[in-house]
């Protein structure tokens, strides 16, 4: 049985293995042991804190096969971005040039360096190992975070965003970086990624031009990937779109990948989730896939299983209840997949 749980200190080797296999563009999970150790420690501290409003917390989770203890995926939530240093994106706006005398009218997409997403909660560090990829598992890994947010709303902002990985080739070459970023830095894209992965995104962003950039001055290859996701990231984007996330014109300053966003209370799985008391018993035929989570913080557990929630109770098989650390009478949060 596959279950989502908070990351532990002894998950470091598994996290490093996943970071090394993730490939270029996965800046929130750099393949360096000490950096990852710091991320785990920050997560442990975040779960332990008494939180009244979102701050510098970062909650990290792993996907575990309970029968073997093997970890095959990870995901995280930043409680609020940009609280101690600027959180940069490019906003794709529009500049209009017109002259009635010359009979000229042109609309030019323009990049504006922006901090507009400051304070939002951020979905990040989503990765699923190839040997764990099966029907429904990606849904569990991605959407489990929404049940956690639903259970602890005071810990998160009123808006949730996700910065999606932009387009790069098999060699790690980013057309957007080649067309824009490298003109201001004499380093390769993977070196810029390394700096960002160490938590130094702002120090690079602040060296980027502050004035608007006309996209028509960029190479066609760079223009073509603005707001586009890496093919490996497309399934993750579709899952977020199912939840109500939308692209609103903000892109990453390095690879041009889109930032998608949604008001927290309007996210589908948060809006539709119900809290019901648990009853132990076998699920009858006709059950449909549901996400189910307990109501605990540091002992959070979430799984995907066929269920038939009733108006006043939730019937769970004993094995599933045990994996989720739920006893009869406990409250569980559940939502149809």
Considering the domain architecture, whether residues 209 and 303 belong to the same structural domain is answered as no
User: pLDDT tens across 137-196, in order?
Assistant: 999 999 999 999 999 999 999 999 999 999 988 877 899 989 998 887 766 666 666 566
Q: 292 lies in which domain range?
A: 273-336
Among 219, 254, 269, give the residue marking a domain's end. Answer: 269
**Is residue 99 situated within a structural domain?**
no
DSSP 139-199: HHHHHHHHHHHHHTGGGS-SEEEEE------TT---HHHHHTGGGT-SS-HHHHHHHHHTT
Higher pLDDT: 58 or 186? It is 58
3-class secondary structure, 266: helix
Last residue of one domain, picked from the residues 212, 239, 269 = 269
Query: What is the reported pLDDT for 85?
Result: 82
328 & 189 share domain: no
Same domain, 193 and 298: no
Same domain, 15 and 85: yes
Task: Specify if 103 maps to a domain.
Answer: no
Among residues 97, 183, 230, 290, which one is catalytic? 230
Place 120 in a pLDDT band, splitting at 50, 70 and 90.
very high
Alpha-carbon gap, residue 87 to 83, rounded angstroms: 8
Listed residues 250, 269, 288: the one ending a domain: 269
Q: Are residues 258 and 304 in the same domain?
A: no
pLDDT at 188: 67
97 given a catalytic annotation: no
């Amino acid at each position: 049985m596959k279950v989502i749980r908070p990351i532990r200190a002894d998950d470091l080797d598994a996290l490093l293995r996943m970071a090394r296999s993730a490939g270029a563009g996965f800046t929130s999970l750099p393949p360096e042991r000490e950096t990852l150790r710091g991320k785990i420690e920050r997560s442990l501290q975040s779960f332990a804190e008494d939180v009244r409003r979102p701050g510098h917390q970062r909650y990290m989770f792993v996907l575990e096969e309970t029968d073997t203890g093997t970890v095959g995926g990870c995901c995280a939530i930043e409680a609020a971005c940009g609280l101690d240093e600027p959180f940069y994106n490019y906003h794709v706006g529009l500049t209009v040039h017109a002259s009635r005398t010359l009979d000229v009218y042109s609309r030019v997409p323009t990049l504006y360096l922006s901090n507009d997403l400051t304070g939002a909660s951020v979905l990040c560090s989503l990765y699923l190992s190839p040997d764990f990829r099966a029907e429904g598992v990606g849904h569990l890994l991605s959407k489990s975070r929404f049940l956690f947010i639903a259970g602890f709303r005071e810990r998160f902002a009123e808006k949730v965003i996700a910065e999606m990985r932009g387009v790069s080739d098999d060699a790690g070459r980013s057309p957007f970086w080649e067309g824009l970023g490298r003109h201001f830095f004499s380093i390769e894209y993977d070196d810029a990624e390394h700096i960002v992965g160490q938590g130094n995104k702002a120090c690079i962003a602040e060296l980027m031009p502050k004035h608007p950039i006309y996209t028509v001055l960029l190479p066609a290859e760079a223009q073509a990937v603005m707001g586009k996701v890496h093919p490996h990231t497309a399934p993750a984007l579709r899952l977020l779109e199912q939840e109500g996330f939308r692209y609103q014109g903000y892109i990453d300053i390095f690879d041009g990948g889109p930032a998608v966003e949604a008001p927290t209370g309007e996210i589908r799985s948060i809006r539709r989730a119900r809290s019901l008391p648990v009853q132990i018993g076998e699920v009858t035929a006709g059950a449909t896939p549901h996400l189910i989570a307990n109501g605990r913080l540091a002992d959070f557990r979430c799984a995907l299983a066929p269920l038939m929630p009733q108006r006043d109770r939730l019937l769970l098989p004993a094995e599933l209840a045990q994996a989720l650390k739920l006893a009869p009478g406990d409250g569980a949060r559940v939502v149809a997949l």
